[in-house]
A and B are shown apart, each in its own frame.
Chain A
Amino acid sequence: MTAATLIWWALTYAQFMLALAAILAMVRTLRGPRAQDRVLALDSLYINAMLLFVVTGMRLGTPFFFEASLVIGVLGFVATVALAKFLIRGEVIE
């Protein structure tokens, strides 16, 4: 087994597991039961997507997926913060 094959298997496995994790997060988003659960689930969806971008980029050998994961990494939490603040304070901006 060469290094390339190993990496290929590893990346494919990672991709699949991330997608599976996304499915689980989705179930939580759909079912709730509390609004807080949904927000958390959405946040983990974002993290999953970010990692999926990175892994897919490595697998295809292109740098073009990097920006998307960068944007999620730096800015993805803004939506979560806004949702969370809405739940705590009832206002997003006060």
Chain B
Amino acid sequence: MIEQNLILVLAFLPFVAALATATLPENAHGAAAWVSGALLLAGLGVMAGLHGAVADGEPVRAVLRWVPSLGLNLSFRIDSFVWLFITLVLSIGILVVIYARYYLAETDPVPRFYSFLMAFTGAMICMLMSGNILMLVVFWELTSIISFLLIGYWYQGQAARDGARMALIVTASGGLCLLLSMLIIGQILGTYDLDRVLASGDLIRAHPLYPLVLVLFLLGAFTKSAQFPFHFWLPGAMAAPTPVSAFLHSATMVKAGVFLLIRFSPALGGTELWFFAVTGTGMATLLMGAVIALFRHDLKGLLAYSTISHLGLITALAGLGSSTAILAAIFHIVNHAVFKASLFMAAGIIAHETGTRDMRRLSGLMRYMPITGTLAIVASAAMAGVPLMNGFLSKEMFFAEAVDWHNGTWLDNALPWIATLASIFAVAYSLRFIAAVFFGPAPTDLPQTPHEPVAWLRLPVEALVLACLVVGVFPGLTLGPTLNLAVESVTGTTLPDYDIAIWHGINTPLLMSLGALAGGVILYFAFAQRIAEGPEGPPLLHRLRAQRLFEKGLLLLSWRVPRAVMAIIGSEKLQTQLRTIVLLAIAGVGLALWGTLQQAAEPRTNALNPSFALMWIVGAACALGAAWQAKYHRFAALTLLGGAGLVTCLTFAWFSAPDLAVTQLLVEIVTTVLLLLGLRWLPRRREEIHEDTLLPARARRLRDLIIASVAGAGIAAMAFVIMTRPLIPNIGDWFLRNAYYEAGGTNTVNVILVDFRAFDTFGEITVLAIVGLTVFALLRRFRPAPESLRDLRPEEEADAETRSLADYLLVPSVIMRWMFPPIIVISAYLFLRGHDLPGGGFSAGVTLAIGFLLQYLGHDVRWVEARLTVLPIRWMGFGLLIAGATGVAAFAFGYPFLTAHAQYVDLPLIGKVPAATALIFDTGVFSLVVGATVLMLIAIAHQSLRLSRMREHEAAEAQAKEAA
């Protein structure tokens, strides 16, 4: 039990750290580092506590019920392999935090850096611990997204933005492929549980979809681990701050891909396809990375390609798949993380102290920073595979695996040669890193005079280099047992007590190592001069940059192709778009309903009421008239629309929906004013359009008339058929029966809105808030077309510039002012009775908004705003907050979100009144509706205000000119 809780603590610790650091002030460097470091250290403590249980051989599991109704659980598991990996992540994480504390400039914003770093650590750890393959993908994508944010930390730079975008696109698309493969695996096996997937390797391999699964899976793993041909994002990601590069792009995140390969090798590996795809890609990446690394002039560029190369090595080992290969792979994961993190940090120190990362300008730094130099030399030796270093050991094991016979294919036979060749280049670039930077003549034109960094900045490097040496000299004592356990937990078989030792006697791997060392030294000293003078990249190949190809592809796919397709199938004309939509709708509905839409055998009808029949004639005539006039007489069309809307409200009431009728009436009024406000900005009608009477125009209009008639008649027919069907028991009956007993309200519509379906309402008001804000934001930037800037006043009035509004509307404006309190009372009335009788938060909100609107109508804006301060954004904010808080409050009583409670309360003088928590929710709705409606109306109204200001300004200028 205690282990399960420890796992959950481990999963949440980094996220807690992220939350804590996110709330710190911008410049709290020390505090952020302490908080992050302490919580990571606590994580290491948890790992120590888990060690005993994990070492017993059985994975430790913890399950957190997440969405029980869907069977989705957060299930975590830790076995020895995961334990080793998490310990590695946490340890290097702590060192990176220490390093970052002294690396970041005082002005760099703190919360963003540390909270992202901690969130990344959390995502990584949860990915490693996932016991469910879908959850694994979720956290996998989370690491991609957070790494995007971290690479783009210095977003002011173009390189950082480009690098971040490229990394995100490549790794996230890989993640999608991974998701697909996991879904297919889930379909094949019927489970997403990791343990069962790992145990069902035979089933997956025998399935016809196995090649597809494998390819998608490998796309995911290879993109993350920067394998050829997806390697190009990693050098681009070097625009990140160095601590990030050291943590993500050498030690941890890129290792996620190889982690996955090793983890799934029992389930997917062991086939020839796996061998060729994984080992082949790994060897290609190993060689290519090593070659390119030698030719990079940028320190971090060299290290990035070296990382790619080493990842290739691990991938190749995972492809071989034998127990000893897996052992070598895991060992190299650890070793590479240790020495590469220290090298990145050393490179960061050099760049920090000298101001440049260009190896052609750096030289002879040993005399300025001897300690850093020594550390870098040891770490480079580990990278090159010099004996007595940790890198040497795992490389030897890799060589031994390469020499071993596996399946006799050409690739298997070529392995030793490729490995040795890549090693020669690895030795050469390691040597270049040291020789070019630390030896040679003193540097001449550095931006800064270099000196040793502060001791704290060097401390993480020292710790890592010490680890290189200790593991290198005493492998069996330090990592041996842990590695053996880790391999057991991956392959499930007990390893025949493999002994990691420095000296195995003189054998082929040792000769290969020595040969590579000698070859590398010769290679570097023979070509050092020409490499330094050459271009950034290997000869001939430097022109072919995968990065540039990617950029071109991106441009093509996200810019040119869409635009070309748009030009062919799209249209910017509103008429064409509308016509297409309507035609598609007709076609779709026609296909779906053809032959199935039938009048019920016994249609349900009401007796015809002659007066209502007359009213419907009014409505229909108004609607037709509006359509008729819409093109040339917008004002008339608007008036007619008002008539049609009114009859609609009447119909709602007649068909026993009084609630709807009230709401629709209010909306009708607001809409009329809103359209009027918008009408002012539409371009003026052109009096004569001479093509208008020609045949093509007539034909076009006839076609549109037919389309419109078919669509309208179709909808009318559907509505008629549905409404005349006999009543069947449906969910509405349930609502009607239970509205009072379950929710304490007799107005079922309102009860549905604020109780039964409150979550939907919550979503809807959120949307309303977003729409309101969007309208506001759009109108703030709205600049009307020049032809709309005309004076709209009728000509006989235009001379009356000086006559104020009050002269025109004195009596009406006083009445409107007096109407304000009654409208507020009506709004309160509609609101309070909403739960039991027609009304509710929405209609009350619109009513109050009309009240405000009326004041704007009756007086000019300045008069109103000098006396009445409406803060629509606050109304909206409070509305959302109240509605949300009501929902959350249900948690406090142990009920799900938005559970309502209803009871009667005895008030003095008034008596028993119903008091439901739904009323509080409705208050939120009310407040938000007021805010959003007023916000939109005022935003449009202020356009006119701006216009009149401009006019005044011009008049004043003209006067000034005249006076002069």
Q: Chain A interface (Cβ within 8 Å of chain B)?
A: 15-16, 18-20, 22-23, 25-26, 29-30, 32, 35, 38-39, 41-42, 45-46, 49, 52-53, 56, 64-65, 67-68, 70-72, 74-76, 78-79, 81-83, 85-94
Contacts and interface: CB of A to CB of B under 8 A. Distances in A.
B39 to A, nearest CB: 56
A20 B662 contact: no
Contact of B610 (A16, A26, A83): A16
Interface in B663-681: 665-666, 668-669, 672-673, 676-677, 679-680
Interface string B639-654: 1101100110110011
Interface in B607-663: 609-612, 614-615, 617-618, 621-622, 625, 635-636, 638-640, 642-643, 646-647, 649-650, 653-654, 656, 658, 661-662
B349 to A, nearest CB: 65
A86 B858 CA distance: 12
A19 B612 CA distance: 7
B669 A79 contact: yes
A32 to B, nearest CB: 7
B793 interface: yes
Nearest to B838: A67
Given A22-B615, A67-B662, A94 B944 contact: yes
Contacts of A39: 639
Residue among B636, B642, B856 with most chain A CB within 10 A: B642
A32 B861 CA distance: 32
Interface string B784-824: 00000001111001000000010011001000100100110
A92 B941 contact: yes
Given A78-B857, A91-B680, A45 B643 contact: yes
Contact of A19 (B615, B823, B830, B944): B615
A49 B649 contact: yes
Contacts of A92: 673, 676-677, 680, 857, 941, 944
B119 interface: no
Contact of B650 (A30, A53, A76, A91): A53
A62 to B, nearest CB: 8
Contact of A79 (B618, B642, B822): B642
25 contacts: A19-B614, A22-B618, A23-B618, A26-B621, A29-B622, A30-B621, A30-B640, A42-B639, A49-B647, A52-B615, A56-B653, A67-B658, A67-B838, A68-B661, A68-B662, A71-B662, A75-B669, A79-B668, A79-B669, A81-B816, A83-B638, A85-B857, A90-B792, A90-B794, A91-B792
Interface in B297-317: none
Interface in B918-963: 937, 940-941, 944-945, 948
Contacts of B677: 92-93
B335 interface: no
Contacts of A41: 639
A64 B642 CA distance: 23
B847 A75 contact: yes
Residue among A45, A79, A87 with most chain B CB within 10 A: A79
A38 B636 contact: yes
A74 B642 CA distance: 17
* In the A-B complex, the 8 residue pairs with the closest CB atoms: A90-B792, A19-B614, A93-B941, A19-B611, A64-B658, A15-B611, A90-B793, A79-B672
B531 to A, nearest CB: 73
B24 interface: no
Nearest to A84: B812
A38 B639 contact: yes
B854 interface: yes
B785 to A, nearest CB: 17
A86 B611 contact: no
A79 to B, nearest CB: 4
Contacts of A22: 614-615, 618
B528 to A, nearest CB: 78
Nearest to A20: B614
Contact of B853 (A25, A78, A87): A78
B636 A71 contact: no
Interface in B893-916: none
B106 interface: no
Contact of B611 (A16, A25, A42, A75): A16
Contacts of B673: 78-79, 82, 92
Given A42-B639, A45-B643, A81-B816, A75 B666 contact: yes
Contact of A71 (B666, B676, B822, B940): B666
A65 B793 contact: no
A70 B850 CA distance: 14
Interface string B826-842: 10001000000111000
A53 B654 CA distance: 9
A51 B650 CA distance: 11
Given A89-B793, A91-B944, A65 B658 contact: yes
Contacts of B857: 78, 81-82, 85, 92-93
Residue among B611, B647, B850 with most chain A CB within 10 A: B611
A88 B797 contact: yes
Contacts of A53: 650, 653
A89 B227 CA distance: 71
B760 interface: no
Contacts of A86: 635, 676, 679-680
Nearest to B665: A71
Contact of B642 (A15, A18, A42, A68): A42
Nearest to A72: B665
A38 B666 CA distance: 21
B672 A83 contact: yes
A56 B612 CA distance: 10
A15 B625 CA distance: 25
Given A29-B643, A81-B812, A68 B658 contact: yes
